[in-house]
Amino acid sequence: MTTGTALRRPLVIGYGTAMRGDDAVGWYVADLLALEQRLADVDVLSIHQLTPELAADFASASRVVLIDAAADGDEPGTVHVVDVEPDFAAAGVFSHHVDAASLVALTNALYGDAPPTKMVTVSLDAVPHEERLSPPVAAAIPDVVAIVTRLSLEDDDA
């Protein structure tokens, strides 16, 4: 059911609410990445939330990098990178959204395998009803772009 490895491309997904301040950071980064010449062979998506049907996209990707805002209490603009491991307990499954660990588990269960998946988070400052990032989160974007670019191309550069 999976696509042959040779045909797989890296997949980058920036997600969040585009109209809620720093929650849109994934969208901003994804929009910039989509213009990157070095990422011409990378699929880049901007979406509101992770959904179960993305399992099919995961299954046909060589690796996945997710970009999201995090309300983790860290200094706004702090960037963290973590591996996403499958969560078969699926505590984060609902109807039209699902958390990253459950999505990796779903991909694994459906297609027998799931690509290596990284989550890049940016600690948020505020989520007002605005289409504008806070200064510290906006300042972090160049770093996030560089990190995601490196993670996306890791296999190809190896």
**How many Cβ atoms sit within 10 Å of the Cβ of residue 60?**
18
**Using CA atoms, how far apart are residues 141 and 69, in angstroms rounded to an integer?**
12
* Residue 71 interacting with another protein (CB under 8 A): no
**Using CA atoms, how far apart are residues 71 and 127, in angstroms rounded to an integer?**
10
Rg (CA), the chain: 15
CB nearer to another protein: pick between 37 and 95: 95
Q: How far is the CB of 127 from another protein (least distance, A)?
A: 14
Residues 78-107 close enough to bind another protein by CB under 8 A? 88-91, 93-96, 98, 102, 105-106
Q: How far is the CB of 23 from another protein (least distance, A)?
A: 14
Residue 100 dihedral angles phi and psi, to the nearest 5°: -60, -45
Among 8, 43, 48, 119, indicate the residue that binds another protein (CB under 8 A): 48
**Using CA atoms, how far apart are residues 49 and 68, in angstroms rounded to an integer?**
10
Contact residues: another protein, CB under 8 A: 1, 48, 52-53, 55-56, 88-91, 93-96, 98, 102, 105-106, 109-110
